[in-house]
Amino acid sequence: MKQYYLSVIKFPLMVSSSLFIIALVFFSVALGSYFRLGLSAWETVIYTVIFILLVLLVASWILNLISTHNPIKPRRLALYSKWMLVHVYYYLALFMASITMQKKQKLQESFVNFNNEVVLSQARDVSHKNILLLLPHCLQNSECKIRITADINDCESCGKCDIAAIKKMAAKYNVKAAVATGGSLARKIIKDLVPDVIVAVACHRDLNEGIRDAWRFSTYGVLNERPNGPCFETTVNLKTIEFAIRKFQ
Ligand code: SF4
């Protein structure tokens, strides 16, 4: 639990620190200019515009932090907050992680966990009918003769990989489950099914890209486990998937 908490706070910590540094630089430069020579008319305009942008940046970040505990009700505001998260704060966190020499994978994991908190908060007290379980192709046993693309029901449930258990779970909770062999197919599946919520399983990189790519959708990310190395016969914690489905139903 403590480890999960530490993993969740890494991303917001990186974003908050970078905002603090940006504000510090801004005020140092602006106040330095003011006390040295005074501000000319155009400098006043420029500093005012930058100040307003800075206030917006900080306010939107506070909105994001609030959204991990309280759902944002106006849909447009929730979308704006999500847009800022994936298009602005994600890069600020990456920048901060790179200058503080943090491992990129740890930050990606934290981003997934932070996003999950937002998605769970937004879905609170709402029952979703159209849940999509989106799985990576590498979950499938490499010797399986069946090529499972899109429809998980093609699996013959031999039990050699986690697909069989996920198929059973999908039937139990009556949710759609699909296997995507890449980003393009994942996009097509999402476009065709237009789910209320996506429970996506993937590695750090793919999950980060997927969540950001489908930012208009609520995507709950589940990191896969890679006992045989990347992209080969991966596994997933089935309890985490079940937890997510039950939360959204
Ligand atoms: S459980 Fe399904 S997908 Fe996995 S190896 Fe068996 S038939 Fe293939």
Q: Provide φ and ψ at 66, rounded to 5°.
A: -65, -35
Question: 88-134: per-residue pLDDT in tens?
Answer: 999 999 999 999 998 999 999 999 999 999 999 998 878 888 999 99
Question: End of a domain among 92, 122, 152?
Answer: 122
Among 138, 146, 167, 232, which residue has the most ligand 1 atoms within 8 Å of its CB, making it the best to mutate?
146
Written as one string, the DSSP assignment of 151-197 is EGGG----SSSHHHHHHHHHHHHT-EEEEESSHHHHHHHHHHH--SE
- The token pair at 187 is 């996009």
Do 114 and 181 belong to one domain?
A: no
Structurally, how many domains does the chain consist of?
Answer: 2
pLDDT at 228: 94
Range of the domain at 142: 131-248
Do 56 and 105 belong to one domain?
A: yes
pLDDT at 6: 72
Do 136 and 230 belong to one domain?
A: yes
The answer to whether the beta carbons of residues 204 and 108 sit under 8 Å apart is: yes
Instruction: Using pLDDT thresholds of 50, 70 and 90, give the confidence band for residue 150.
Output: low
219: CA distance to ligand 1 center in Å? 25
Do 89 and 182 belong to one domain?
A: no
Question: End of a domain among 88, 122, 156?
Answer: 122
Do 76 and 143 belong to one domain?
A: no
Q: Which residue has the tokens 């759609």?
A: 176
90: CA distance to ligand 1 center in Å? 36
Question: 151-168: per-residue pLDDT in tens?
Answer: 799 999 999 999 999 999
229: CA distance to ligand 1 center in Å? 19
Eight-class DSSP state of 146:
S
The answer to whether the beta carbons of residues 63 and 69 sit under 8 Å apart is: no
239: CA distance to ligand 1 center in Å? 19
Do 83 and 55 belong to one domain?
A: yes
The amino acid sitting at 205 is R
Instruction: Give ligand 1 pocket residues (Cβ under 6 A).
Output: 140-141, 144, 146, 148, 155-161, 163-164
Q: How many CB atoms lie within 10 A of CB 58?
A: 15
Question: End of a domain among 99, 122, 145?
Answer: 122
Rounded Cα distance, 240 and 120, in Å: 13
CA distance readout (Å), 223 to 108, 110, 135, 220: 10, 11, 11, 10
- For atom 4 of ligand 1, which residue has the closest CA? 161
Helix/strand/coil (H/E/C) assignment for every residue in 20-77:
HHHHHHHHHHHHHHHHHHCCCHHHHHHHHHHHHHHHHHHHHHHHHHHCCCCCCCCHHH
Do 106 and 158 belong to one domain?
A: no
Question: 1-13: per-residue pLDDT in tens?
Answer: 667 777 789 999 9
Q: Provide φ and ψ at 109, rounded to 5°.
A: -65, -40
Q: Which residue has the tokens 């399983």?
A: 201
113: CA distance to ligand 1 center in Å? 29
β-partners of residue 202 are: 223
